Amino acid sequence: MGAWELLLVGVVILFGLCGVLVPGVPGSWLVWAAVLWWALKDPRPVAWGVLVGATVALLLCQVVRWALPPRRLREAGATPRMAVYAGVGAFLGFVLVPVVGAIPGFMGGIYLCERLRLGGHGEARAALRTAMRSGGWSVLAELFTCLLIAGAWAGAELWG
């Protein structure tokens, strides 16, 4: 697979990661489609292993999301700015504290956004709790799964 094709796969994965945070965009399926395209163009065993792992992870994520309460983030006061803070926090947490850092990074991003908006610690904590109860766990589960898939793809491409 050439450099331009790899770059395009990476861009589609990045769009998928951003799409998880935007309502109505099938972000997780964009990530899966990019990994499928990569595996079809680069038929090494590691590529097929990443594709199978991505498929299983996304199916498990869908089961977890169905078990969680439905998303009602807009009614709870979530804004696009909050989604950006949460997404950047999750990504930074995923990179700085590999894998498990995405969870506190996501929640820290929401807290920081609300702290800047509301000004106080107590109000920001209450807003974080409201956001997580209103569907934040569902978004976090999907984003975490997509970050795992993106990390597996990057790892397979760099070291595989």
How far apart CA 37 and CA 52 sit, in angstroms, is 13
Return the DSSP state at 70. Answer: P
For 115-134, what is each residue's pLDDT tens digit? Answer: 999 989 999 999 999 888 88
Vertex 142 angle, CA 137 and 143, to 5°? 95
Tokens of 47: 């590529």
Based on its alpha-carbon atoms, the radius of gyration of the chain, rounded to whole angstroms, reads 16
For 11-30, what is each residue's pLDDT tens digit? Answer: 999 999 999 988 788 999 99
The pTM for the full model equals: 0.90
Is a pLDDT exceeding 90 seen at residue 72? no
**pLDDT of amino acid 37:** 96
Q: What is the mean pLDDT of the chain?
A: 91
Is a pLDDT exceeding 80 seen at residue 69? no
Cβ within 8 Å of residue 98, ≥6 positions away: 151
Q: Which of 27-31, 62-66, 70-74, 116-120 has the lowest mean pLDDT?
A: 70-74
**pLDDT of amino acid 89:** 95
Is a pLDDT exceeding 80 seen at residue 76? no
How far apart CA 10 and CA 3 sit, in angstroms, is 10
What would the mean pLDDT of 92-110 be, rounded to a whole number? 94
- Helix-then-strand count for the chain, H and E: 7, 0
